[in-house]
Structure 1
């Protein structure tokens, strides 16, 4: 049952990330998943339940990506941090773009759905539990604030590259500049 649920949520992410929020319907997810009509509505009775499920799955996928990033980082090495984070951003604006587009579509939905806003807040707190200590290890004097700034920069890089892809996209330059401004020399 859990595998079918995950399969449906992955299909919903693809629908959301390739067609946008207006196209996220139970029927569209059934078709994308290659399952009989009604499969999605059996798991997620309402569209709100489906959206909440998609958000939960996105948190799982993104947490796994951040966890992988953490395994590649030597502690306290700013240059390695910049390089690994830049590689992750390139991957998520390239072959992984559907995930970021789906997440951004949910962020827009959250503007009018307080429950989704609350879930996004919880997801950001979970991410901060991982990321704030990492930023502290780089020498930050205010790790929570600096981590929020880093996330804002990353979201901006995602938005700009996905909306208008630049051939010379250089996320490392922006990340490096931010960190040089925030961290002690």
Structure 2
């Protein structure tokens, strides 16, 4: 009972300290002597469970890990790619690449995403037609040049699953050029959608 009261106070303190930035659930393992203290907020609905025993009860955590594994979600457009690293339905990191159509090089974009000036709303019909012609002629080579970076990221980040989301033509071509197997392709252009909406689409 003494040990339980000690842990209870620590748990209450953790909950109070996180009230302002609460998510949907908490996963917590603890011992009174603090040899074990694991407490994390997750963006997932959890079944409320409480166990007081010698060994941790991991079944629900294993189920979540199976449903929301360490994943790479690759959003692709003709000349732009965004990669979302995700685990347990949380966004760990995002990286964006843009193709410089003057040099045919993919460049990592830093800072907030801006509208694509090369093919933005102000582009004329002639510019759009010219780009479409170049895209059809070069898409295989363009996606082949970015695929090794994505394969390396998949290895470095230890992705268990890979999802490609984009228009049919671009997503199919990117999948073809990657060495790592793609688990699912979703034919939707979601590059400009909120990342949480993308996770809902992939894992929903």
TM-score, normalized by the shorter chain, greater than 0.5: no
Report the TM-score, using the length of structure 2 for normalisation: 0.28
Report the TM-score, using the length of structure 1 for normalisation: 0.30
Higher fraction of helix = 1
Higher relative contact order (CA 8 A, sep 6+): 1
